[in-house]
Structures are given as structure tokens and as C-alpha cells.
Amino acid sequence: MAIVYLEYNFKIVPLQPATDILIAELGDAGFESFVETEEGLLAYILKEEWKEGLLDDLFALQHPDFKISWTSTEIEQQNWNAEWEKNFHPIQVGGRCMVRAPFHDPIDVEFDIVIEPKMSFGTGHHETTHMMLQHILDHDFEGKSVLDMGCGTGVLAILANKKGATPVEAIDIDEWCVINTQENIERNACPTIHVEQGTSDLLTGRKYDVILANINRNILLDDIPVYANCLNKGGALFLSGFYLEDLDAISAKCAAHGLEFEKKLEKNNWVSAKYVN
């Protein structure tokens, strides 16, 4: 039986900051994947997760300064690649890492990562993923144990592994993300990455030198105590998926559990922050 998604095609004026706000709200509402277009946004949610009135209370759709219209249609997973290929372009991060699709030609960079996201989120194009990749490039991962929580396509786990991290675990609540991550780690010759489906409930008793979590504000606030408990002494926690105005709340929760803010990256009001113990 094919898994069916609903594709919402949003036309947005002005594109920013409305698109970023809408992505954050749709993520909280259960939408799993996003593709930014020249006119707005494509957003995807499992048909079985959709419910009446899902969009009724979204701030972005009611804001008087934003003009947003939308249509929706059903789309099966196997149709995703054609839509994705129309919108996906290779990106470079820090002049050292390239994230590209299998149909893009490689260039001479230190870390060449091939990602085919299908219905998963995390190609490196969104600001949060891009900043997390920047953090990974700047951090020493040699011989470090790593968790990529909410792994999406597995791109963060793959770069950490290519930088010498071992062992590496990747976890996502979504079955399709787990399957996609497994495909991508094979595509990038990273067979030592272990992938699981689940939530932070899986982390009881586990320890890591580095934890990467690019999810969203609410889940991060709920799970920071778990991350803190799983982090080895001298470890690092990298968080993203939230706005600049959320940083104080994130930092306060980290501080309450023995994690000290070290630095942040900002891009279009999105933030990625590093904490240490």
C-alpha cells in the first residue's frame, strides 16, 4: 500500500519573513517536508496525519502584512523525486563541503556529500541545516561518539562521520526518514552509522561526545534534559530549528541542566547554537 502525502502549494507575498514563519508553524502542525519555490512554499504532510481545521490557527496565515494563498493535492512518495529535482541545486558550505544530488557533477572539495532526500527534510538548503553543517566543519569530530537526533536525510551524521566521528547514531521519529537516511549513508560509503526509528525515549543509558539536534523549539525544550544527561563530560550539544527570539529560552533550559552557551550562528533570523558542559 503506497504512503500518500498531501502537498500544499503556498503562494506567499512577501516571501520573507512569512516563509520562515510558516515553515516553523507547519512543522509544529505535523508537516514533515518543505521545498521553497520562487513563489512561496511546497509543504508535505502524511494524509493520515491531516485533520480538519489544521491551518485555522496559524499566525502566518492570519497576519495582515502577509498575503498567502494555497491549494492542496495528493502525492504518492514515489512522485517526490521529480518534484524535488526541479527545485534542488547543489550547495557549498564553508568552501569545504558540497551537498549535491546524484545527478549533479562533483567538484573538488574536502567533503562531497550526495543526498537524495525524497520525502525527508535536510538537504542543507534550509538555514538551520546549513548552519549545523557549518558547526560540524568547525568542530573536531575525530574519534568522537555522535548522535544525530531528528536526522531527516542523515546529512549531519554523514558529515560528522566523514570528519572522523565514530560511532555515529542517527534517530528519527519518521519511518521514511530512517529509510532515506539508510539509503544516503550507503550512497556516501558511511556504513558505520547506525540508524533507528524513535524518539528521545531511546536514549536512556546512552552517552555521546557530541549531540546534533536540528528539530524545532518545542521538541528541543522538552528534550534538552535528556540530551544533557546523555552528554559525556567535555561534550558539545549543537541545536537548531528555532528563531533568534527563542534563543534565551533554549539557553536558559540548557543552563538549568549544566550546559553553558558557547557560540551561535545566525541566518535570516534562524539560529544554531553550541553548548558545552
Query: Is 235 within a domain?
Result: yes
**Interaxial angle between packed helices 217-230 and 247-256, expressed in degrees from 0 to 180 and rounded to the nearest 10:** 20
Question: DSSP letters of 53-120?
Answer: TTTTT-HHHH-TT-EEEEEEEEEEGGGHHHHHHHH---EEETTTEEEE-TTSPP-S-SEEEE---TT-
Structure confidence at residue 118 (pLDDT): 64
| Residues 264, 159 share a domain | yes
**Binding-site annotation, residues:** 129, 150, 172, 214
How confident is the model over 126-146, as a mean pLDDT? 95
| 64/153 same-domain check | no
Strands 111-114 and 97-100: parallel
d(CA 248, CA 270): 13
Same domain, 174 and 271: yes
- Classify residue 199: in a domain, yes or no: yes
Q: Which of 77, 112, 137 is the last residue of a domain?
A: 77
* Residue 155 shares a structural domain with residue 227: yes
- For the annotated binding site for S-adenosyl-L-methionine, the residues are 129, 150, 172, 214
Residues paired with 169 in a beta bridge: 147, 194
Segment 240-259, tens digit of pLDDT: 988 899 999 999 999 999 99
How sure is the predictor about 69, in pLDDT bands with cuts at 50, 70 and 90? very high
Whether residues 71 and 149 share a domain: the answer is no
CB 228 within 8 A of CB 251: no
Grid cell, residue 213, equals 539536534
Question: For residue 175, what pLDDT is reported?
Answer: 83
Label residue 266 exposed, middle or buried (CB < 10 Å: 0-12, 13-18, 19+): middle
How do residues 199-253 score in pLDDT, each as one tens digit? 999 999 999 999 999 988 889 999 999 999 999 999 999 999 888 999 999 999 9
Total tally of structural domains belonging to the chain: 2
In a domain, 94, yes or no: no
Range of the domain at 210: 125-276
Statement: residue 104 has pLDDT above 70: yes
Same domain, 129 and 257: yes
Judge whether 82 lies within some domain.
no
Asked if the structure places residue 247 within a domain, the reply is yes
Q: What CA–CA distance (Å, rounded) separates 60 from 22?
A: 6
179 and 246 assigned to the same domain: yes
Band of the pLDDT at 2, cuts 50, 70, 90? low
Average the pLDDT over 125-137 and give the result. Answer: 91
Which CATH number belongs to the domain containing residue 200 in this structure? 3.40.50.150
